[in-house]
C-alpha cells in the first residue's frame, strides 16, 4: 500500500510554489485592472479604498502624504487603476506594486518622462505596438499589450509623435506646463493605393546577421514610422544602441560612425563601421565596413568591405571586398574588385577583377580572374584560366575559352 501513497512532499512543494508565484503574477496586473467608479463629493481616502476594493488589491502608504479632508468627484467607466489614480491624484505621486499591494509615494521631483495610453476612439481599444518618439532627440518607445507607454527623458519642451500602422500620426507639443500623463486617441487611416514590398531577400550569411539584429530588436517602428527622419551625424555601438536610438532604421544620415555595427535608412555622404553596416534604402557616397556592408537599395559611390559587399539593387560606382562582391544590377560604370568572387546578376559591368570567379550578365569592359570568367554577353576582354560568354564582341585570353558553342585554347574572338 505504501507504493500507492501520493508523493506528499512534492505536492506540498508545488502548492508552496503556487502560493508564492500567483500573487506575483497578479501584482504585475494591478495598475491595468479595469474598474468603474462614480464619486460625487467624497473624501479622497474613501475614494482610494473603493478603488482598492474594485481592483482587488491592498494599499500601502503613509496617510500623511495625502491632503487632509480633500473632496473629490470623478466618474470613470472601465478605466484602468492607473488612469483613475492619475485623475484623482495628479502627477505628484508614483505607484509601485509589491505582491498584491500597491505602494503609494510622494514624487520627490518632477517627472522627466511622458506616459499614458494610446487608444482607438471609435472602438475604445487600447493600441499595442504603437510607436511614440521625441522628434528632436529620437528617443522612442512602443506601447505594451495594454496600450500603455513610457517615454523617458522628454524634457520640459518637446515635440512627441505617435505613429501606428493604419492610423494617422498624432503630434503632441509638450510645454513645461503640459501634464506628463497623456491619453492619446489615434484616428484610422486607409492609404489610397496600398503598397507591398516585393524586394528579394537572399539567404546569405550576412543577411542572416541583419535578420538577427532585426529579430532581437523592435520591428514595429519600421511599420509605424514609414517616413524617413534626417540627422547630419550619428554614432552607434550596435544597431539601435546609439544617438538615433530605436529609430535608427528610419533615419537618413549624412555621416555615420558605427563602432561595431550600425543600422540606417539611408547614407548620404560617409559611413564607417568597425564590423558591419546595414542600410535599408541607398548609399550616396562612401561606405566602409570592417567585415561587410549590406544595402537593400542602390549604391552610388564606393563600398569597401573587409569580407563582403551586398547591394540588392543597382551599383553605380565601385565595390571592393576581401572576399565577395554581389549586386543585382550593375551600371555601365560599375567596378567590382574582390579577393574571391564578383557577381552581377544583371546590367552592364565596366570592370570585374577577382582572385577566383567573375560572373556578370553583360561585360562592357574587362573581366580578369585567377580561375573563371562568365558572362552572358562580353563586349570587351576576358582574361582568366577559363572564360565563357554566350555572346562575344571582343577577346578572350585563357587556357580554355568558350563563345557560344565554339571552344578555343589560348585566344578566342
**Tens digits of residue pLDDT in 216-273:** 444 555 555 555 677 888 898 887 787 877 677 778 889 999 999 888 888 999 999 9
| Non-local CB neighbours of 54 within 8 Å, separated by 6+ positions | 35, 36, 37
Q: Tell me, what's the pLDDT at 24?
A: 38
Question: Is the confidence at residue 1, as pLDDT, over 50?
Answer: no
Domain 113-185: which topology?
Answer: Immunoglobulin-like (2.60.40)
Sorted by sequence, the CB contacts under 8 Å of residue 341 that are 6+ apart come out as: 323, 324, 325, 326, 354, 356, 357, 358, 359
Q: Is 197's pLDDT higher than 50?
A: no
**Residues 6+ positions from 125 with CB-CB distance below 8 Å:** 119, 147
Which residue ranges make up each domain of the chain?
Answer: 2-106, 113-185, 205-412
Q: Are strands 170-174 and 324-338 parallel, antiparallel or unpaired?
A: unpaired
Task: Provide CATH code, domain 2-106.
Answer: 3.55.50.30
SS3 content of the chain, % helix, strand, coil (to 5): 20, 55, 30
Q: Assess contact for 371 and 387: CB atoms under 8 A.
A: no
Proportion of the chain above pLDDT 90, given as a percent: 31
pLDDT (0 to 100) of residue 216: 43
Phi, psi of 136 (to 5 degrees): -80, -50
Residue 209's pLDDT is what?
A: 53
Residue 330: per-residue pLDDT: 84
Q: Greater confidence, 199 or 112?
A: 112
Range name among 62-66, 187-191, 312-316, 357-361 with the lowest pLDDT average? 187-191
Q: Which pTM was predicted?
A: 0.53
Q: In what order do the strands lie in the sheet with 140-142?
A: 140-142, 131-134, 158-163, 170-174
| CA dist., res. 127 & res. 11, Å (int) | 41
> Which pLDDT value is given to residue 172?
83
pLDDT at 25 over 70: no
pLDDT in tens, 350-370: 899 999 999 998 888 899 999
pLDDT of residue 102: 92
- In eight-state DSSP terms, residue 126 is B
Amino acid at each position: 500500500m505504501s507504493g500507492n501513497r501520493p508523493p506528499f512532499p512534492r505536492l506540498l512543494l508545488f502548492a508552496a510554489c503556487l502560493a508564492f508565484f500567483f500573487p506575483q503574477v497578479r501584482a504585475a496586473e494591478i495598475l491595468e485592472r479595469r474598474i468603474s467608479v462614480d464619486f460625487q463629493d467624497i473624501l479622497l481616502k474613501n475614494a482610494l479604498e473603493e478603488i482598492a476594493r474594485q481592483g482587488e488589491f491592498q494599499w500601502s502608504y503613509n496617510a500623511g502624504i495625502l491632503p487632509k479632508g480633500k473632496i473629490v468627484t470623478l466618474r470613470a467607466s472601465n478605466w484602468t487603476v492607473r488612469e483613475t489614480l492619475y485623475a484623482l491624484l495628479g502627477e505628484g505621486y508614483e505607484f509601485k506594486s509589491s505582491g498584491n499591494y500597491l505602494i503609494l509615494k510622494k514624487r520627490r521631483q518632477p517627472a522627466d518622462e511622458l506616459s499614458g495610453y494610446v487608444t482607438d476612439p471609435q472602438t475604445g481599444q487600447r493600441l499595442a505596438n504603437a510607436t511614440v518618439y521625441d522628434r528632436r532627440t529620437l528617443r522612442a518607445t512602443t506601447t505594451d499589450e495594454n496600450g500603455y507607454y513610457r517615454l523617458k527623458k522628454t524634457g520640459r519642451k518637446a515635440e512627441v509623435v505617435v505613429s501606428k500602422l493604419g492610423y494617422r500620426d498624432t503630434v503632441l507639443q509638450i510645454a513645461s506646463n503640459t501634464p506628463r500623463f497623456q491619453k492619446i486617441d489615434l484616428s484610422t487611416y486607409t492609404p489610397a493605393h496600398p503598397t507591398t514590398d516585393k524586394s528579394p531577400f537572399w539567404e546569405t550569411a550576412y543577411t542572416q546577421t541583419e535578420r538577427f539584429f532585426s529579430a532581437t530588436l523592435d520591428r514595429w517602428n519600421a511599420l509605424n514610422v514609414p517616413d524617413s527622419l534626417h540627422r547630419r551625424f550619428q554614432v552607434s555601438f550596435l544597431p539601435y544602441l546609439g544617438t538615433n536610438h530605436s529609430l535608427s532604421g528610419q533615419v537618413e544620415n549624412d555621416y555615420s560612425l558605427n563602432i561595431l555595427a550600425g543600422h540606417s535608412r539611408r547614407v548620404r555622404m560617409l559611413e564607417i563601421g568597425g564590423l558591419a553596416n546595414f542600410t535599408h534604402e541607398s548609399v550616396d557616397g562612401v561606405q566602409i565596413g570592417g567585415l561587410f556592408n549590406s544595402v537593400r537599395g542602390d549604391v552610388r559611390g564606393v563600398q569597401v568591405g573587409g569580407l563582403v559587399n551586398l547591394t540588392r539593387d543597382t551599383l553605380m560606382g565601385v565595390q571592393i571586398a576581401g572576399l565577395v562582391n554581389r549586386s543585382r544590377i550593375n551600371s555601365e560604370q560599375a567596378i567590382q574588385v574582390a579577393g574571391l568572387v564578383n557577381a552581377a546578376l544583371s546590367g552592364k559591368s565596366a570592370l570585374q577583377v577577382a582572385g577566383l570567379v567573375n560572373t556578370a550578365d553583360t561585360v562592357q569592359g574587362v573581366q580578369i580572374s585567377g580561375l573563371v570568367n562568365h558572362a552572358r554577353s562580353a563586349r570587351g576582354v576576358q582574361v582568366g584560366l577559363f572564360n565563357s560568354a554566350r555572346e562575344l564582341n571582343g577577346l578572350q585570353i585563357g587556357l580554355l575559352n568558350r563563345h557560344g558553342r565554339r571552344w578555343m585554347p589560348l585566344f578566342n574572338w
